[in-house]
Amino acid sequence: MQNLNIRERIIKFIGTLPKTVSVKAYGSSIAYQSGYKENEKKQVDLIVIVDDIKKFYEENLKKNKYMYKLTPQIYFRYASSTRLRKHAAICYTTHIDYGDDTYKMGVIEKKDVLDDLLNWKTFYIAGRFQKEMFTAIADKEIEQANEINKRNALTTALLLLDKENPTLDDLYQKICSLSYMGDNRNKLKAEDPNKIKKLASGSKDHFDKEYKDKTDLFTVNKDNTIKINYKKLFKAMKELPTALYERIEASIDTKLSNEDNLDSIRESIKGYLTEIIKSSSHGQTMKGILTTGPKNSLVYALAKLKKGRKKQ
């Protein structure tokens, strides 16, 4: 498989799995991030979307038992569908060696993906889908829901831009930062503090295509600063996920104009995203001990800590 590029190798790996609805790859193996050495081995992060998570694990334990340590084998064999779908509804398995690559595979049901993309229930999936990804297997309904998710991400990021004369780079960094609000990894310094800048700059072409070229909410000036059309932005704000918009609406002083309410709107957005991300992030961390095994979970956490603090 050495002669195949990473996308071809991912498709080959997916071919060994039970039936899936959609598969997406994300992270530094797909989207360029500065700071990595050319020959540095990168983990391949996958989100595998299925109709029935319990059935998928029953079949994959028979097909690919090598992927699971003893604790995950027991957990996936006996855990109910309800338990598997707790917290952010996704189950991760790490340190899956296949060919020349190492995979981290998250499995989640389609209905939970749609719920998060459209309603920002946990933001765990929604936040990842707002960034650059490689779609190995596509599903029309999921792709349509993600277009709505990305439009809402753009609206939210524009509302949160609080500096004078923001640039296009500022906007892209703000979009990237949404999924890190309240994330346990930031508090523990288990994430590169410059990761958001690296994500935004490395995926500039992607962000241009998915955000700049699809909207009339702002225009770009010759010096790369952006001019926000607040009239259209506040109209778009009403299309945000219901729970978030209700939080915003409750914070607004009806005696003031929307622009005069911007500080309150920003605090509402930050509060909402921080709460849901903190909750899902903590739950997933605890769940990971069972889905990856205590040893793999510890090795993964220590590697993240080492990597994050090395960049401080």
For 117-148, the pLDDT digits (tens) are 999 999 999 999 999 999 999 999 999 999 99
User: What distance separates the 2 farthest-apart alpha carbons in the chain?
Assistant: 65
In sequence order, what are the residues at sequence separation of 6 or more whose Cβ sits closer than 8 angstroms to the Cβ of residue 153? Answer: 126, 130, 175, 178
Query: Could you tell me if 225 and 170 are in contact, meaning their C-beta atoms sit under 8 angstroms apart?
Result: no
Q: How far apart are CA 53 and CA 284, in angstroms?
A: 16
Half-sphere exposure of 125 (CA within 13 A, CB side): 33
Domain boundaries along the sequence of the chain: 6-310
Cα 26 to chain center, whole Å? 8
For residue 98, what are its two tokens? 């296949």
The angle that helices 110-119 and 140-160 make with each other, rounded to 10 degrees, is: 30
Model pLDDT, residue 150: 98
For 66-96, the pLDDT digits (tens) are 999 999 999 999 999 999 999 999 999 999 9
What pLDDT band is residue 312 in, cutting at 50, 70 and 90? very low
CA 54 → CA 86, 118, 210, 288, distances in Å? 13, 24, 34, 17
User: 48 has which bridge partners?
Assistant: 23, 107
Q: How far apart are CA 302 and CA 7, in angstroms?
A: 28
For residue 190, what are its two tokens? 């288990």
For 142-166, the pLDDT digits (tens) are 999 999 999 999 999 999 999 899 9
Amino acid in the structure at residue 121: K
Q: CA-based angle 173:309:160, to the nearest 5?
A: 20
Model pLDDT, residue 1: 47
